[in-house]
């Protein structure tokens, strides 16, 4: 677990690596609420500032993404592209709910291979 910019404990870790890639990793078994999603997106925007960066979201073993959280993930943020990385059929179902949002703010795709996800994120 990590703390967000307000000091509140979160269910995620977020880094901006030296290559300019955001990596958001949700805790094992996380049930993501609207507040959790808001916190994650605030952190993404704070780390990026005025620049947009590709975002790798490791959602493997995520248990639930609430309707409110899905709505938050449908809002524009400083991510230029989003790769959702999962490893199970449950992860795929959760990703399909997110991908089913009518209009996502940027290109977003589900992967089971980190290598493939990273290659897709690096496409400009």
Residues 71-114 have pLDDT tens digits of 898 899 999 999 999 888 777 787 877 777 657 789 989 899 99
Q: Report the alpha-carbon distance of residue 84 to residue 40 in Å, rounded.
A: 14
The CATH H-level superfamily of 2-121 is: yp_829618.1 like domains (3.40.970.30)
Residue pair 112/87 in contact (Cβ under 8 Å)? The answer is yes
- Residue 5's H or E segment, with its range, is none
Residue 15 pLDDT level (bands cut at 50, 70, 90):
very high
pLDDT band at 26 (very low <50, low <70, confident <90, very high): very high
Distance between CA atoms of 18 and 29, rounded to whole angstroms? Answer: 28
Length in residues, the chain? 124
Return the pLDDT at 124: 59
Which among 56, 116, 61 has a CA at the least distance from the CA of 87? 61
């Amino acid at each position: 677990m990590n703390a967000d910019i307000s000091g509140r404990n979160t269910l995620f870790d977020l880094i901006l690596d030296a290559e300019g890639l955001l990596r958001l990793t949700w805790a094992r078994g996380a049930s993501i609420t609207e507040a959790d999603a808001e916190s994650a997106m605030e952190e993404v925007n704070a780390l990026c500032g005025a620049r947009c960066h590709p975002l790798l979201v490791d959602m493997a073993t995520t248990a639930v993404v609430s309707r409110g959280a899905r709505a938050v993930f449908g809002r524009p943020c400083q991510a230029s592209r989003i790769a959702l990385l999962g490893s199970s059929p449950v992860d795929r179902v959760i990703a399909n709910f997110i991908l089913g949002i009518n209009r996502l703010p940027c290109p977003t795709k589900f992967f089971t291979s980190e290598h493939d996800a990273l290659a897709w994120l690096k496409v400009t």
